[in-house]
């Protein structure tokens, strides 16, 4: 669990650093995307904290769904899809953006493994 939470915090930090470079350079009226990512980071940290306080799989499932959602949002933000569908300007892909996606995929994989392991432990306990 410590590794998963560490990966989630590393992902959050990479998002904060990546977004903060754009946050202070843009027009205050055009900060929708950056604000959305900052809110997502806060929610991500809260879910990580929740995971440390409970044995329930609910925060794990929320973290998986949130991670997939953030990856999809990032793809929209850096491709032409954002211009045509969301009417947002496309951004160039940054190194921190790629690092955050790699970390986020690692979080998803680790969370899925945790669900599988918890399921196998539960099934072993049921059979004993």
pLDDT tens for each residue of the chain, 128 residues long: 788 888 888 888 887 887 777 666 666 555 666 777 788 888 888 999 998 898 888 998 999 998 898 888 777 766 666 555 555 454 566 777 788 888 889 999 999 998 888 765 444 444 33
pTM: 0.71
- Give, as one character, the DSSP assignment of residue 85: T
**What dihedral do alpha carbons 3, 36, 23, 94 form, nearest 10°?**
60
- Start-to-end C-alpha separation, the chain: 25
């Amino acid at each position: 669990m410590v590794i998963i939470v560490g990966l989630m915090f590393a992902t959050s930090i990479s998002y904060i650093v990546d977004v903060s470079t754009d946050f202070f350079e843009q027009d205050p009226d055009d900060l929708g995307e950056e604000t959305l990512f900052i809110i997502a980071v806060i929610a991500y940290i809260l879910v990580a904290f929740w995971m440390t306080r409970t044995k329930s799989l609910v925060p794990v499932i929320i973290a998986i769904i949130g991670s997939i959602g953030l990856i999809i949002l990032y793809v929209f933000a850096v491709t032409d899809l954002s211009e045509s569908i969301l009417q947002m300007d496309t951004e160039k892909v940054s190194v921190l953006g790629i690092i955050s996606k790699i970390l986020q995929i690692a979080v998803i994989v680790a969370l899925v493994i945790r669900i599988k392991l918890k399921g196998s432990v539960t099934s072993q306990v049921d059979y004993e």
